[in-house]
Structure 1
Amino acid sequence: MQNQYSTDQIHTFNVTPEEEGKRLDRLLADRFSGISRERWKRAIEEGNVTTAKKKVASSYRPSRGETVTCRLPELKESHHPEPEPIPLRVLYEDEWLAAIDKPAGMVVHPAHGHTSGTLVNAILHRYGKQLSDDWDPVRPGIVHRLDRDTSGVMIVVFDDAVRRAMQRLFRQHEVERVYDVIVWGDFTAPRAVIELPIARSGVNRKKMLVREDGKPAITCVEKIKGNGRITHLQCKLVTGRTHQIRVHLSHIGHPVVGDPLYGGRRGTGKLPCQLLHASRLSFNHPVTKEEITFESPLAERFKPYLDEIDMSH
């Protein structure tokens, strides 16, 4: 087992007889101490693990002697996150889960350059005693993510069984996720379905793009109101790829207002955060099976743009 490594280096090894037949994510978690299976799954999904120079899935079972190459980007943390008394707007909580209204500008979990002030630090302070010991220590309670500059509803769960159940609901598209967004330009169609595959950019690893060899991605769009210059839309995610709404809307010529990564020449203007808000989450509670819906009102930064649209009608 390897326990000394650098996250900025590429590691190559041959599968041993003892490792043969193991799932790739489990094999890597066993080989590299300090990096959980969940974090290896993400690394594999991001294309940072290959065999014979081919991308593989977490469930792949390599053969004895097969060569595995992996890069460890931002996987090893120098320390575990600490509880911090950061105020949280709690929409709902019970003994199994909570719904949080995440503000724009808050990073969900610690990563390079963001070791404190994250949602995880706040979760540890409020719910630390309720959290299962089975968690990835860097992302306790987290079952899905919002970008730093996206506000709105997020679910936090407290034990491993509920975590697995919630992840299954997300994976099987049984969580309804609705976002409000203001985009540049006149979005003329009353409704649209954007079905375009998304992949990680080979040039900028922080950026995603539409590419034929990407993963399937589907966004349902409904126009609320517009004035020709900007348009208020509601987007429903069928899949949940990284930056999906931002990538899809930018690709069809309607980037999110204030988006620093996909906004193109329009940039962010005076906005500190993009106008993208997770306004509603609905699903059947993984324990009680009751249908529940959590809603977050539109953030204050939307108001001047909504007022501008209303004034034109």
Structure 2
Amino acid sequence: MSEIPEDLFEDEDEILFEHLSIKVDKGQSALRVDKFLSDKVANATRNKVQQAIDSGYVKVNDQKIKSNYKIKPGDVITLQLPHEPSHTEVIPEQLPLNIIYEDPYLLVVNKAAGMVVHPAHGNWTGTLVNGLVYYFNQLPEMPGNIGRPGLVHRIDKDTSGLLVIAKTEKAMTHLAKQFFDHSIERTYLALIWGEPQEDEGTVHAHVGRSFKNRKVMDTFPDGDFGKEAITHWKVLKYLRYVTLIQCHLETGRTHQIRAHMKYIGHPLFNDAVYGGDKIRKGTQFSKYKSFVHNCFELLPRQALHAKSLGFVHPTTGEKMYFEVDLPEDFKAVLDKWEGYVQSE
């Protein structure tokens, strides 16, 4: 949290913009809100927090509070100020980071589903980058990528799995070139609707912004729009109405796997953006419909996980390789589908 200028504490009727939102953990003990925030947010002194509270800029559950308010599990604490966060302003936040490898030059993180990778419109706080700038004093930034320190690639909010973060400018340049040259090894696991006719295949179709909805990516097989995108896939397990596949990326376009799988008629299970959140295959029996909707509740996101990541270390030249298991929500749905198939 940056210093809050005194002249911001004047107009009661001004428009406020959210700069910070924290949901209190289930296991959090009772604690004064000013103490909680001064401990939680980097560079936020208790005095400054108290000033913000007194001026009505800090709310709990959308209600104004006093500095002696004691937070409870599940409380949502927000800080609002009269100016919109800038695109280069990254607020340090103490967030859980599942770091599976770290050295002086880089680290590898297993990102949980639901965490946005970097701040952007509508998601200024709670992102992986907010947690990273709290964890480190300084991270490098790529030219043209200001406000996203340490990042050389990203994965979607509701995709789980591996990301490599650069800690030095040399590491960032070296890793970025590997991504540009497509020499990074990345594999994903995905649960798709239907059973492909072949056991493996390659989708080679450009991916770019949809003309109808700029938030959605579309495929352009003739290559007349978008950027070249290549996804190699192979079947790991047929589960009658869905299939577990492994995807290897040659390119790394936004929503590449999700758009490519929709293009070949097998959208990702519970992918709301690309039509996978509806029953695409199966029976009309109410028991089956209930089963699928229970699976949707278990896995309330697209079934996509960045399982492995391989690259050359930017300083030592050593070949690095990392792999992580499926998260519990993905495992639970796979188990349910396997049980369903065996019971039929």
Query: TM-score, normalising length from structure 2?
Result: 0.65
Contact 2:190 2:303 (8 Å CA) reproduced: yes
Find the partner of 1:279 among 307, 314, 327.
307
In structure 2, what is the Cα distance between the partners aligned to 1:78 and 1:154? 22
2:152: which partner in 1?
143
Structure 1 residue 264: Cα displacement = 5.1
Q: How does 1:66-215 map to 2 (within 5 A)?
A: 77=86, 80-129=89-138, 131-132=139-140, 136-211=145-220, 212=222, 213=224, 214-215=226-227
The answer as to 2:318 corresponding to 1:290 is: yes
CA distance change for structure 1 residues 158 and 165 in 2, over 3 Å: closer, same or farther? same
In structure 1, what is the Cα distance between the partners aligned to 2:151 and 2:160? 16
In structure 1, what is the Cα distance between the partners aligned to 2:141 and 2:263? 42
Structure 1 residue 151: Cα displacement = 0.6
3-state DSSP of counterpart to 2:261? helix
CA distance change for structure 1 residues 298 and 264 in 2, over 3 Å: closer, same or farther? closer
Contact 1:80 1:137 (8 Å CA) reproduced: no
CA distance change for structure 1 residues 241 and 290 in 2, over 3 Å: closer, same or farther? same
1:232: which partner in 2?
244
Structure 1 residue 230: Cα displacement = 0.8
The answer as to 2:267 corresponding to 1:255 is: yes
In structure 2, what is the Cα distance between the partners aligned to 1:235 and 1:301? 19
**2:246 partner letter:** Q
The answer as to 2:256 corresponding to 1:244 is: yes
CA offsets per residue over residues 92-128 of structure 1, 9 Å max, x none? 0000000000000111111111010000011011122
CA distance change for structure 1 residues 174 and 203 in 2, over 3 Å: closer, same or farther? same
CA distance change for structure 1 residues 285 and 202 in 2, over 3 Å: closer, same or farther? same
3-state DSSP of counterpart to 2:336? helix
CA distance change for structure 1 residues 79 and 287 in 2, over 3 Å: closer, same or farther? closer
Contact 2:141 2:147 (8 Å CA) reproduced: no
The answer as to 2:305 corresponding to 1:305 is: no
CA offsets per residue over residues 135-175 of structure 1, 9 Å max, x none? 75410001101011101000110122211111100111110
**1:188 partner letter:** Q
CA distance change for structure 1 residues 310 and 133 in 2, over 3 Å: closer, same or farther? closer
Identify unmatched segments of 5+ residues in structure 1: 1-75
Structure 1 residue 187: Cα displacement = 2.3
In structure 2, what is the Cα distance between the partners aligned to 1:166 and 1:207? 27
Structure 1 residue 132: Cα displacement = 3.6
3-state DSSP of counterpart to 1:245? helix
Structure 1 residue 294: Cα displacement = 1.2
Query: TM-score, normalising length from structure 1?
Result: 0.72
In structure 2, what is the Cα distance between the partners aligned to 1:164 and 1:145? 16
In structure 1, what is the Cα distance between the partners aligned to 2:242 and 2:135? 39
In structure 1, what is the Cα distance between the partners aligned to 2:140 and 2:193? 44
